Amino acid sequence: MTTETAEPALICGKCGCALETGKVEVEYLGNRFPVELPRCPSCGLVFVPEDLALGKMLDVEQALEDK
């Protein structure tokens, strides 16, 4: 047995702090959307996985077109 958690720890590339999941506002096409992303509690750096970013952009576009 190990003590590893399900989520791998993400470390801030700037200051080396462990990232904490928090609500972040993302702005896209003039609209703001609250999303939960890992961010650095020290310097505020937000980690956005590439696949998540692409998926979110697609979801946002579809939501706007449906409006």
42 scored as a contact of Zn ion (CB under 5 A): yes
63 scored as a contact of Zn ion (CB under 5 A): no
Q: What is the 3-state secondary structure (H, E, C) of 18-66?
A: ECEEEEEEEEECCEEEEEEEEECCCCCCECCCHHHHHHHHHHHHHHHHH
Q: Which residue among 1, 3, 12, 56 contacts Zn ion (CB under 5 A)? A: 12
Q: Which two tokens stand for residue 35?
A: 């999303």
Which part of the chain contacts Zn ion (CB under 5 A), choosing from 3-11, 34-42, 46-54, 55-63? 34-42
Residues that bind Zn ion (CB under 5 A): 12, 14-15, 17, 40, 42-43, 45
